[in-house]
Amino acid sequence: MRITLIQDIIFWADKAANIQKVEDQLILLAGKTDLVVLPEMFTTGFCTEKLQLAEKMDGVTVHTLKTWAVKYKMAITGSFIANEDEKIYNRAFFVFPSGEIETADKRHLFSLGGEHEHFTAGDKRLIVNYEGFNILVLVCYDVRFPVWSRNVNAGFDLIIYVANFPQRRIIDWDILLQARAVENQAYVCGVNRVGVDGLGIDYDGHSALLDFKAKPLLNFPENKTSIQTAVITTEPLARYRHKFDVLRDADTFDIN
């Protein structure tokens, strides 16, 4: 599977500008990739108090994502601010090239940033099957909580974290992505934004694609827009799990 990570700035609360920028990038990627990964809240930035930016599932963002996926023959994943049943969610999505979409909401809300004051936490994980991979899609702060990321019965081969992870804690991001790869025996993809947001918070990227031993498969420049593609396959992962099957010794647990 060809997977493309887009590390870029996000225009603060400007959906039209962000949508246009992403489409310009997808045009150039058409026919060259199978899956594009966008940062968290790719149309707005991490706007936790601008609730007017939230959209229904039949809104502009979802319609545009479906149109892109079909037109450019690729899957697309990321998150946006969703409004459903009078509740606000940081909603992860995975859009297939057919235009079909699957979603789940961010489980762990970043209370230090006030996200919990306006948003509702999710209660399910988004796992999809695409191009021979079982893929788990999670959002930013979820990376700090290994139980929610845990690979139960080898249920996924790739974890994707879409993020707005600030520069001041970027070393945590680097370490956590590596840990999630090793403990889950899975590829890990983390896509983070760059630039400064409307609150003056700095982001310097550190997007990454790691193999199941946490070996970097791509190297992103710090604090610069960068679009990179790599090819990953399930065969070496299957061989490694067969040879070193630590997942069979994992604890069982329930999440409340």
In this prediction, residue 112 carries a pLDDT of: 86
Q: For the segment 10-31, what is each residue's pLDDT rounded down to a tens digit?
A: 999 999 999 999 999 999 999 9
Q: 176-196: b or e for each residue (b if 16 or more CB lie within 10 Å)?
A: bbbebbebbbbbbbbbbbbbe
* Average pLDDT of every residue of the chain: 96
- 8 Å CB contact between 15 and 53: yes
Distance between CA atoms of residues 179 and 173, nearest Å: 10
Q: Is the pLDDT of residue 104 over 90?
A: yes
For position 253, what pLDDT does the model report? 84
**pLDDT at residue 113, rounded to an integer:** 83
- Which residue out of 15, 21, 66, 106 is catalytically annotated? 106
Active-site annotation holder among 40, 55, 115, 189 = 40
140 belongs to the catalytic site = yes
pTM for the whole structure = 0.97
The CATH code that applies to domain 2-249 is 3.60.110.10
**Are 46 and 197 within 8 A, CB to CB?**
yes
Domain extent listing, the chain: 2-249
Whole-Å CA distances, 22 to 13, 120, 193: 15, 27, 13
Active site residue 215: no
pLDDT digit string, tens, across residues 194-231: 999 999 999 999 999 999 999 999 999 999 999 999 99
Cα gap 256→155, rounded to integer Å:
20
Indicate if the pLDDT at residue 1 is higher than 90: yes
Asked whether the predicted pLDDT for residue 114 surpasses 90, the reply is no
Annotation marks residue 106 as catalytic: yes
